[in-house]
Structure 1
């Protein structure tokens, strides 16, 4: 009887854990009312941002690309311009690495990109490293709309682990 109960318990545990792994990360969304916080003069920390451009993106972009990310405590890092049309940033099938300094954060749980221009651009993923946080990857896999912040906010949803 104990063996049967142990088997049923293990089976139920396996079933629940396999269900949890099959949950796909949420899709990026528009954020029309996003306002950059003014606390950019807080204690400075270094971040590494690795952006992979999709192979189905345009061959290159001259669009202006900005980035904002932060934690659930209101700490936010803002990079007003990541693009550099002279260095061939964000070419199709490429990976670009940026070193950014900004206010120190804890676990990064939101990230938004802003694209301004007419070329178009499709990021595959954005991976973040920081001093007080585990690395986290946000999967876009879609063209960014023009002129509006587009991304993820997992700060209050409890699904941060789905994007790590």
Structure 2
């Protein structure tokens, strides 16, 4: 009986360690101080559907200004300023908002950054981008986006975050 308790304890302990290590392996969004918006090129050749789910931990509604930038590893980038619209109830708690965004056609989307300006403290749950001839790309947040800084993910191999330049659409 004592041996059985010891084995059970070791199994439960091992499982707890495994779960905690798995949680630490989940990528977290990172700040990006050097995202530059390039307004010299104005391509509108592809349409993207952007679905943003607001966390149930977010404020009931937000007046924050929300923008996003995403792209691929080959320099094709899309910038969408001011997705917010408080009069239309966008980004309410536990809701999903869908936007059509236009920009240059991309290969597989591998980075996404959000920009929030305001005092409400909006919390996105996740962002999924659907584009022509590419797999949907989902980026999980579920944390408050700091104000006045680009915040997100860069899964592009060989592309450093500081080299990202967004082409205005």
Q: Where does residue 108 of structure 1 map in the other structure?
A: 109
Tell whether the 8 Å contact from 2:55 to 2:142 is kept in structure 1 after alignment: yes
1:96 is aligned to 2:97: yes
The answer to whether the Cα contact below 8 Å between 2:49 and 2:98 also exists between their aligned partners in 1 is yes
The TM-score, its normalising length taken from structure 2, stands at 0.76
Contact 2:58–2:122 (CA<8 Å) still a contact in 1?
yes
Which residue of structure 2 lines up, in the alignment, with residue 18 of structure 1? none
**Is 1:78–2:107 an aligned residue pair?**
no
| Pairwise CA distance, 1:26 | 1.1
Query: Which aligned pairs between 1:82-161 and structure 2 lie closer than 5 A?
Result: 82-156=83-157
Q: Distance between the aligned counterparts of 2:36 and 2:57, measured in 1?
A: 30
* RMSD over aligned Cα atoms: 2.0
**Unpaired segments of 5 or more residues in structure 2?**
1-21, 159-169
The answer as to whether partners of 1:61 and 1:91 remain within 8 angstroms in 2 is: yes
* Cα deviation, residue 42, structure 1: 2.6
Q: Any idea what SS the aligned residue of 1:133 has?
A: coil
Give the Cα separation in 2 of the matches to 1:79 and 1:139. Answer: 19
